Amino acid sequence: MGVDNEHVKVFVKPGKFKEPMNLHMMRLTEGARTVGEKGDTVDRFAWRVPVTRDRVSFHYYATKSKEGYQQKIDRSNGMGMAKGWDWWDWIAGLPSSECKKMTAYDP
């Protein structure tokens, strides 16, 4: 079975951030805050605990081709904890639906 990745991915309003801090967090403008999908404040640096996916879930490497995922397995990851095909299968088994609203979003 797979393990949830607690790292956040950011959908950011361009006027609310100054610069990226890393791949998972942004340095925000005064008064702005990072929120979860239910509007709750995310106050842990780059992690979301507990993991939620009621509105959106982004599985970057599992959305690539199997060939691209194999390259990721071969490279491992920055923490030396490579994922295997059991993780791919777990992600592939999660519910999925196309979201047309997200592509039409206009803040």
pTM of this structure: 0.52
Please determine, for residue 30, whether its predicted confidence score (pLDDT) is greater than 90: yes
Evaluate if residue 2 carries a pLDDT over 60. no
Comparing 22-26, 46-50, 75-79, 86-90, which segment has the lowest mean pLDDT?
Answer: 75-79
The Cβ-side half-sphere exposure at 21, using a 13 Å CA radius, reads 14
Q: Where are the beta strands (DSSP E) in the chain?
A: 17-20, 26-28
Distances from the Cα of 67 to the Cα of 1, 60, 88, 92, 96, angstroms: 21, 14, 12, 15, 21
Band of pLDDT at residue 29, cut at 50, 70 and 90: very high
* Average pLDDT of the segment spanning 36-42: 82
CB 29 within 8 A of CB 18: yes
Q: Which two tokens stand for residue 73?
A: 């397995």
SS3 content of the chain, % helix, strand, coil (to 5): 25, 10, 65
pLDDT of residue 24: 77
Q: What value does the mean pLDDT take over residues 18-38?
A: 85
CA distance 26 to 18: 7
**In whole angstroms, how large is the CA radius of gyration of the chain?**
16
